[in-house]
C-alpha cells in the first residue's frame, strides 16, 4: 500500500464518553473527586447539551449526554497514568473494582468502570 499523505496525526486531545441525562453529579464525583481531574468549563454553545468536561495532563475527557444511554462495556479509553498502584489503591478504597491484566506487553494495566458502568483502562509503561 502506498502512503501518499502530507499530514501526520499529532496526538489525542480528548475522548468522549457517553453518560445518561442528569448524571453530571456522578461524573464530578468520579472524574473530579476520585480521579482528581480538573473540570473544564464547556463552551457556551455546548453547555445546554448537559454533560461535563475534565482535564489532567494532556488529556481531556468529555462526558456527553446520550438519551438512550447504555454503558460502554467493551469500548474504552486507555489512559496513561504515573503511579498506577496508587490509583488502583485509591479506586479500591472507594469501592471500585479493579481488574488487573498483564496481556499488553510493555505496560502494566487494569480495567475498572466509572460510576455509570463505562469501562476504563488505566495503564503505565513498564521500566
Instruction: Tell me the CA distances in angstroms from 72 to 11, 20, 55, 77, one per residue in order.
Output: 23, 12, 21, 10
So what's the pLDDT on residue 19? Answer: 98
All three cell numbers of 46, joined, read 455546548
Chain centroid to Cα 65, Å, comes to 15
What is the percent of the chain with per-residue pLDDT over 70, rounded to a whole number? Answer: 98
Confidence of residue 1 (pLDDT cuts 50, 70, 90): low
Q: Each residue of 8-63: pLDDT tens digit?
A: 888 889 999 999 999 999 999 999 999 999 999 999 999 999 999 999 999 999 99
Average pLDDT over the chain, rounded to an integer: 95
For β-strands 38-40 and 59-65, DSSP reports them as: unpaired
Amino acid at each position: 500500500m502506498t502512503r501518499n499523505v502530507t499530514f501526520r496525526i499529532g496526538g489525542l486531545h480528548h475522548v468522549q464518553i457517553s453518560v445518561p441525562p442528569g448524571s453530571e453529579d456522578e461524573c464530578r464525583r468520579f472524574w473530579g473527586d476520585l480521579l482528581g481531574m480538573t473540570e473544564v468549563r464547556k463552551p457556551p454553545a455546548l453547555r445546554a447539551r448537559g454533560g461535563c468536561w475534565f482535564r489532567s495532563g494532556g488529556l481531556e475527557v468529555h462526558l456527553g449526554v446520550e438519551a438512550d444511554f447504555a454503558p460502554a462495556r467493551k469500548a474504552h479509553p486507555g489512559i496513561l497514568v504515573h503511579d498506577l498502584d496508587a490509583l488502583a489503591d485509591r479506586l479500591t478504597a472507594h469501592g471500585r473494582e479493579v481488574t488487573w491484566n498483564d496481556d499488553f506487553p510493555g505496560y502494566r494495566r487494569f480495567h475498572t468502570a466509572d460510576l455509570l458502568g463505562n469501562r476504563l483502562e488505566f495503564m503505565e509503561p513498564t521500566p
